[in-house]
């Protein structure tokens, strides 16, 4: 059965960004229906979203002049698996906070029971108004609503500050999570600490020992945990992506920097997931100036990097769960089980890096999850976000 996403667009300049959300969802095989408020039509046309969604776009004229046997807002509210409102303006935010219903969108909200994803966008001064923040908190207190924070940057009014709507890819990712979880917040109140990405161990200012990790798996874990209600801290190596604004993001470069950051955050965590590809060795000597090619040693003296996950395994508290990753070729289970025992882990994700469309750099992954109780979960080839949800499902079932 196809997933069904109903999108409500309100009157903000960020409305044009929602076209990418609609197009991406359609390409992923999602059924999409779109509603536009009267103000939204000042920024984007019904024809544009109808073309992208391959379905009629609904406006207030359809609401008031509907000749359907059943009211349109009732049909749409019952049809949707997920309702998305983006951009969410201050005006519509206020209506939703107080349960008002004076157009097709707000009536459909009240006639629906599905999870609602809201992505606000407005001028910084508007966003920071006491009344707006009060309305925002009122909505978030309703468990149906899942809010995306506003980002900082250059706004359409030329102001630089908070108020930018979340980017289309972030919205699509959140929708994917909600379609998977149906809006459950089983990690609400949990504090999750995640490491991801590769570390770089420098020989001189331009040369280093590293690996091809992109940190995408850890990012997916952070997104999935956030979407399920957790407070997330993400310690990450050099990456070409940005962490969600709601996540506490700690960028690092070397293994020592990652160790310092992880140990500094450890006391606040309930679940620690070490998905980072941390260096095992580093150059023994570091030159503060670039070495000439002729000055490079014929053999490079190395020294062992401290094992961060083993150190955490030896110092974690009784209430804390520590999950590791084992990127392997060939037999992935035997070395993963050995690592699970030797490093005092509660669980380990063994993933093959020698199979197509999985492992380093890929948007997809597959794995076998093993825990210290002897439980085993085989995760089929899927998106890294879906794999992250598999992991959290398994963690919850084995608690």
Residues placed in the known binding site for CTP? 280, 290, 325, 339, 343
**What DSSP designation does 277 have?**
B
Say if residues 304 and 310 touch (Cβ distance below 8 Å).
Answer: no
Q: How does strand 82-88 pair with strand 4-9?
A: parallel
- Quick check: 346 and 372 in contact, CB under 8 A? yes
Alpha-carbon gap, residue 60 to 38, rounded angstroms: 7
- In the numeric block, which tokens belong to residue 21? 């959300």
C-beta of residue 215 within 8 angstroms of C-beta of residue 239? yes
Residue 65: count other Cβ atoms within 10 Å of its Cβ. 9
CA 24/CA 242 separation, integer angstroms: 20
Sorted by sequence, the CB contacts under 8 Å of residue 297 that are 6+ apart come out as none
CB burial of residue 142 (10 Å; 0-12, 13-18, 19+):
exposed
How do strand 116-120 and strand 145-147 relate by DSSP bridges?
parallel
- Angle 276-281-287 (CA atoms, 0-180°, nearest 5)? 110
Residue ranges for the binding site?
Answer: 280, 290, 325, 339, 343
Known catalytic residues are 157
The count of residues in the chain is 399
| Cα–Cα distance measured from residue 358 to residue 364, given in angstroms and rounded to the nearest whole number | 5
């Amino acid at each position: 059965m196809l997933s069904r996403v109903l999108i409500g667009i309100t009157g903000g300049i960020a409305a044009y960004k929602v076209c990418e959300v609609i197009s991406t969802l359609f390409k992923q095989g999602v059924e999409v229906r779109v509603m536009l408020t009267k103000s939204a039509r000042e920024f984007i046309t019904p024809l544009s979203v109808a073309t992208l969604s391959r379905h009629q776009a609904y406006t207030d004229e359809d609401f008031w002049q509907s000749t359907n046997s059943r009211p349109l807002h009732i049909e749409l509210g019952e049809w949707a698996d997920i309702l998305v409102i983006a951009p969410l303006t201050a005006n519509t935010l206020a209506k939703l906070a107080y349960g008002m219903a004076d157009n097709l969108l707000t009536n459909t909200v009240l006639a629906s029971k599905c999870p609602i994803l809201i992505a606000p966008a407005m001028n910084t001064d508007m966003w920071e108004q006491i009344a707006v923040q009060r309305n925002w908190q009122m909505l978030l207190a309703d468990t149906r609503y899942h809010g995306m924070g506003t980002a900082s940057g250059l706004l359409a009014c030329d102001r630089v500050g908070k108020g930018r709507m979340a980017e289309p890819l972030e919205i699509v990712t959140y929708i994917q999570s909600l379609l998977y979880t149906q809006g459950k917040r089983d990690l609400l109140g949990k504090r999750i600490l995640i490491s991801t990405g590769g570390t770089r161990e420098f020989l001189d200012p331009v040369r280093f020992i590293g690996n091809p990790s992109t940190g995408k798996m850890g990012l997916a874990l952070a997104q999935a945990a956030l979407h399920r209600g957790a407070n997330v801290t993400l310690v990450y190596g050099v990456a070409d992506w940005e962490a969600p604004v709601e996540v506490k993001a700690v960028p690092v470069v070397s293994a020592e920097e990652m160790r310092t950051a992880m140990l500094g955050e450890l006391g606040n965590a309930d679940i620690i997931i070490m998905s980072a590809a941390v260096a095992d060795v580093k150059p023994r000597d570091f030159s503060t100036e670039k070495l000439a090619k002729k000055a490079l040693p014929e053999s490079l003296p190395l020294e062992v990097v401290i094992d961060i996950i083993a150190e955490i395994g030896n110092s974690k508290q009784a209430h804390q769960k520590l999950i590791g990753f084992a990127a392997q070729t060939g037999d992935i289970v035997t070395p993963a089980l050995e690592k699970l025992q030797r490093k005092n882990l509660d669980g380990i994700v063994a993933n093959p890096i020698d199979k197509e469309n999985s492992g380093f750099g890929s948007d997809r992954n597959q794995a076998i999850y093993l825990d210290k109780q002897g439980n085993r979960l085989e995760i089929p080839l899927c998106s890294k976000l879906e794999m992250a949800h598999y992991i959290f499902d398994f963690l919850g079932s084995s608690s």
